[in-house]
Structure formats: C-alpha cells, structure tokens
C-alpha cells in the first residue's frame, strides 16, 4: 500500500483490554492540553527522510485514550506523512519518552495503521 502526502500513520496503544485495567496510560505519561491532544517527540530512525524531509521535519500528535469508556478508547499517536511513499517501503520511526505499562508477563499489543483524513475539518476522522 502506498501513502500520499496528508495521510497519517496511526499508532494505537491499548489502555484497557477488558481483562487488565492498567495497561498503557491514557496519556502515555504526558500532561495533556485541554483539547486532549499533545505534540510529542518522535523522529525517523537514522533520519531516513522517508516520512519527512529536512525542510519539513516529523511531528507526532498524541490523542488521549480512555480506559474507562465502554468500549475502551486506545491512546493514539498520529504521524503525518509529508512525502509520498511507494508500496512496500520500510518505515522506521521512534516515539520518544512514553510511559510503559507496569504489568509484567502480560501480552500487550499496539496497532499501527496507515490512514487517510476523511474530513479536513476533523483531524480525528480517519478512513
């Protein structure tokens, strides 16, 4: 699958899997702003320039999840695509300074998606 400029990589961190209530923090350890989003530190591994360019650096936005919602809402980090990326291109990036879960010997996954913004007035509405 290829990615176009304006698409986003969405990384979802499980806040509650209905069995274990304390998984990833709803804010990944960050103090959130009033709109429940936060710009956070991230970068491409080895500054590869696949997602971004030197004149247009990578940025990540954190959206607060909710472990108490039914169903639970994952915490999401979105990375905007600033360069067109052809299919089967390997992308490596780091999301820095997150609070890891404090559970031991318990499988916790993340979900990574390539998404397109469906509504230019709502950055959270993704297809």
**pLDDT tens digits, one per residue of 32-47:** 666 767 888 888 887 6
What was the pLDDT predicted at 112? 92
**pLDDT tens digits, one per residue of 74-102:** 999 998 888 888 999 888 888 888 888 88
**pLDDT tens digits, one per residue of 103-114:** 878 888 899 999
pLDDT for 57 beyond 80: no
In this structure, the number of other CB atoms found within 10 A of the CB of residue 27 comes to: 18
pLDDT for 13 beyond 90: yes
* Partners of 14 in beta bridges: none
Percent of the chain with pLDDT over 70: 87
Are 52 and 66 in contact by the 8 Å Cβ rule? The answer is no
Element at 13 (helix H, strand E): strand 8-13
Instruction: Give the mean model confidence (pLDDT) for residues 122-127.
Output: 57
What was the pLDDT predicted at 74? 92
Can you tell me the distance from the alpha carbon of 113 to that of 16, in angstroms, rounded to the nearest whole number? 19
Is the bond preceding 5 in cis, omega lying within 30 degrees of 0? no
């Amino acid at each position: 699958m290829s990615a176009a400029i304006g698409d986003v990589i969405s990384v979802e961190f499980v806040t509650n899997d209905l069995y274990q209530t304390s998984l990833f923090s709803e804010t990944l350890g960050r103090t959130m702003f009033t709109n429940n989003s936060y710009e956070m530190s991230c970068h491409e591994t080895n500054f590869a320039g696949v997602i971004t360019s030197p004149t247009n650096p990578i940025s990540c936005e954190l959206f607060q999840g909710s472990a108490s919602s039914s169903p639970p809402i994952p915490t999401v980090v979105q990375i905007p695509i600033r360069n067109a990326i052809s299919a089967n291109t390997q992308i490596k990036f780091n999301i820095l300074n997150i609070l890891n879960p404090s559970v031991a010997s318990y499988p916790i996954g993340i979900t990574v998606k390539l998404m397109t913004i469906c509504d230019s007035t709502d950055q959270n509405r993704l297809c």
